[in-house]
Structure 1
């Protein structure tokens, strides 16, 4: 480690501190603005010329938006089609319709797992709230559970949604990691799913069963009525809660009746299957095979998400009976909802490129090598600290990816495991400066302490379990 390398490391530490300060101070900078300020500041301190700074910022932002931005836009529109058509409610209702009391958390985790593949955490939770409220009301009326029925059902839902959101492509965070660390997409999906299953089991149904009797959570009746379509007076009458109107999926019956389960599942799985087929083709077929060329093309993230979106547009959009104008307005709203995330991703790309062009990434590599830190643990820790400090999992992922990119190999399972570890780190310690924390707290009428014991604890369990799974797999590959 030379003196210049130590200066670069000090610059990086100061940049991270400034980034946290700008986002959390009274100024409340938008993360995109904060990332741009820090990127340009780091470039100036590290000695890049003004021409190099402009090129570095433009290249970093443009490259990552080209690789991730369009995919994210198609994913947002696909999620909106699934929600508007009632397809997600249909899937959830079918999964839990025949579940017993003890198996309900497992079925809820399954429903959230399927729905969480193409949807952001917040969107997936809002979509599943009607089901959670309806089933919880039935459980309370029957007196079959001690403590909070809402926490009993919400815990596996939160665990599954946040696990997929942080650790499994095609969500934007893992896609950023795949692009920045040059990991194979199909391998990352497979590794992410392998890590996700035991993580969800421990953090969701098992933890939910333990914590539910210890929390007295009662959502606002007006909010329950809004999501379930029942008047507050009806909700108070527990004697009617076990009738047919309170069965799982009843809240969305008006919208889901015309959605066939096959169409709903196909719309969710088309992009994921295309991406997985690409990996299978690259492993099993010769380079000159026409089938391999076709599957490689259709398995590209942009093409796979575009194909999934087009399939859902006709299968769920136009076939649902909605006017084309309404479908277009809904899709426009979906794009607007992710505009902020796209800007943060662009800012993160600029920051990553500056770290590379200034040599800071190489300095971090030298320091980590000298300290003999495990790369997966280092990536997890950086993402955890930045996500907790800034209130943005995306900031944690893009910054950790940029810092560790020089240390990553040329591909393979280890790079995919690093993507998973960084994503797991970004999930942990989800607290009051995260939007998801407040969504859960207000939706279920929790106190600050209750939200901490449920939502924050669940996401931190997911984070730790995800890292442990990545480390375990790393020991055998």
Structure 2
């Protein structure tokens, strides 16, 4: 490699160190501001023409928001509608109520897996807390579950939710990877699900069976009463809403499941259309339109609104308040995504991305391992899985352009798997789990941190296994 290439690599390393320092220093700079500042400094240091730096920042931020931002907003609204209408509760109880004591953790993993398709980790866990607490109370004196029933049920729920959140579109992390690496969306969903199923099994019910007898976890009684009482669902409604969160009429189970799966099915149909050349041209164009992420998520939102939420008895005013609240909750994520897009564009326009490609090619590093490791270290260091994904995607985008379609999709999954590992005290999800279940710091580490790290490692191993087919 040339001296110039080494210089660009040094700028990248210093940029990442600066990003970590700005987010974790006493300043506690917001990741969006830190990403913007680092992007600007990297562009100047790499010698990008001054008149093009602002264009790089604007193009990168605008491009990623156009690809992912609107889809993320629709996804947040969809998840809130499903929660407020009782659709997710219906799915969860349908799965869990038919299980015996020994099989309950497996059924809980199944419920969390389905619910985790459209919902963020934190939202999905809050939705599942009433179910986890109420079922755990039934199991407290049952000898079929050894150790803490709360840990036995929470472990598979955490494993399923974080696996879907990190590795499978239409979650924002994988969508960022699909957009930045130009991966095939349907193929990424397919391989993501293939990687997710054994990952959830190992990190969920299997690990839960081992760790539950070793942790004496007892959530606060007041919190348990709040989540298992008649108005437990009120925890997810806006404070100014006077209507009860629990719907006046039950949601039919079939419609509840359909509302969760509509966006994913539309995206997968688009991929199937690409693989079947005999399809009529008009049908192919229609599936291409409805299978694009933003349109698929929008149709899923409309389906949930008119087929599930309104017929269930949730009032229009309550729906509008819930949708507005759901958008406020993802505003920070949107800004981080924009900052990550700007950083990625600077890496490309300044030539740093090409330098990384040259160095990795010369070192013969496995691109899946490299993507996983970058996302893991950045997520652990900054406390943000999104930062880990956007930065790793930007660094590896030039390398992905030379890979096969399957490898590129597997790279998206590997990066997402890396982003959920080593989830510790600088992650919001860690504290949500710790406080919700009344855990000590050590108990939260042995449960939540280890679960997500198992998900991360298993996800990487599955991508490496599937890469043998590429």
Same fold, judged at TM 0.5 (above)? yes
**CA offset at residue 322 of structure 1?**
2.5
Moved more, 402-411 or 130-139: 402-411
TM-superposition CA deviations, 1:116-135 (whole Å, max 9, x none): 00000000000000000000
TM-superposition CA deviations, 1:418-442 (whole Å, max 9, x none): 0000000001000000000000000
CA distance in structure 2 between the aligned counterparts of 1:331 and 1:214, rounded to whole angstroms: 41
Match of 1:17 in 2: 17
**CA offset at residue 261 of structure 1?**
0.6
Match of 1:455 in 2: 448
CA distance in structure 1 between the aligned counterparts of 2:90 and 2:277, rounded to whole angstroms: 37
CA distance in structure 1 between the aligned counterparts of 2:280 and 2:352, rounded to whole angstroms: 40
Native 8 Å contact 2:217 2:439 kept in 1 = yes
**CA offset at residue 315 of structure 1?**
1.5
Native 8 Å contact 1:89 1:256 kept in 2 = no
Q: Per the alignment, in what secondary structure is the counterpart of residue 319 of structure 1? A: coil
**CA offset at residue 102 of structure 1?**
1.2
Native 8 Å contact 2:248 2:314 kept in 1 = no
**CA offset at residue 147 of structure 1?**
1.1
Native 8 Å contact 1:86 1:256 kept in 2 = no
TM-superposition CA deviations, 1:314-341 (whole Å, max 9, x none): 1222212232122111101111110000
**CA offset at residue 31 of structure 1?**
0.6
Select which of 358, 370, 373 maps to 1:378: 370
Q: Per the alignment, in what secondary structure is the counterpart of residue 320 of structure 1? A: coil
Native 8 Å contact 1:87 1:256 kept in 2 = no
Match of 2:216 in 1: 216
Q: Per the alignment, in what secondary structure is the counterpart of residue 26 of structure 2? A: coil
Match of 2:237 in 1: none
CA distance in structure 1 between the aligned counterparts of 2:443 and 2:278, rounded to whole angstroms: 55
Native 8 Å contact 1:383 1:399 kept in 2 = yes
Match of 1:322 in 2: 314
Give the TM-score normalised by the residue count of structure 1.
Answer: 0.94
**CA offset at residue 254 of structure 1?**
5.2
**CA offset at residue 146 of structure 1?**
2.0
Native 8 Å contact 1:393 1:427 kept in 2 = yes
**CA offset at residue 281 of structure 1?**
0.5
CA distance in structure 2 between the aligned counterparts of 1:99 and 1:86, rounded to whole angstroms: 20
Native 8 Å contact 1:85 1:256 kept in 2 = no
Native 8 Å contact 1:387 1:426 kept in 2 = yes
CA distance in structure 1 between the aligned counterparts of 2:159 and 2:354, rounded to whole angstroms: 36
Question: Residues 285-296 of structure 1 correspond to what in structure 2 (within 5 A)?
Answer: 285-286=277-278, 289-296=281-288
Q: Per the alignment, in what secondary structure is the counterpart of residue 102 of structure 1? A: coil
Structure 1 residue ranges (4+ consecutive) displaced by more than 6 angstroms after TM superposition = none
Match of 2:345 in 1: 353
Match of 1:261 in 2: 253
Select which of 273, 276, 290 maps to 2:268: 276
CA distance in structure 2 between the aligned counterparts of 1:227 and 1:82, rounded to whole angstroms: 18
Native 8 Å contact 1:90 1:256 kept in 2 = no
Moved more, 459-468 or 407-416: 407-416
* Structure 1 gap ranges (5+): 232-251
CA distance in structure 2 between the aligned counterparts of 1:438 and 1:300, rounded to whole angstroms: 35
CA distance in structure 2 between the aligned counterparts of 1:261 and 1:21, rounded to whole angstroms: 49
**CA offset at residue 287 of structure 1?**
7.4
Pair 1:416 & 2:409 matched: yes
Match of 1:162 in 2: 162
CA distance in structure 2 between the aligned counterparts of 1:322 and 1:131, rounded to whole angstroms: 21
Q: Per the alignment, in what secondary structure is the counterpart of residue 311 of structure 2? A: helix
Native 8 Å contact 2:249 2:313 kept in 1 = no
CA distance in structure 1 between the aligned counterparts of 2:338 and 2:246, rounded to whole angstroms: 40
* Structure 2 gap ranges (5+): 232-243
Pair 1:309 & 2:297 matched: no
Give the TM-score normalised by the residue count of structure 2.
Answer: 0.95
Q: Per the alignment, in what secondary structure is the counterpart of residue 338 of structure 1? A: helix
Match of 1:225 in 2: 225
Match of 1:333 in 2: 325
Select which of 454, 466, 470 maps to 1:473: 466
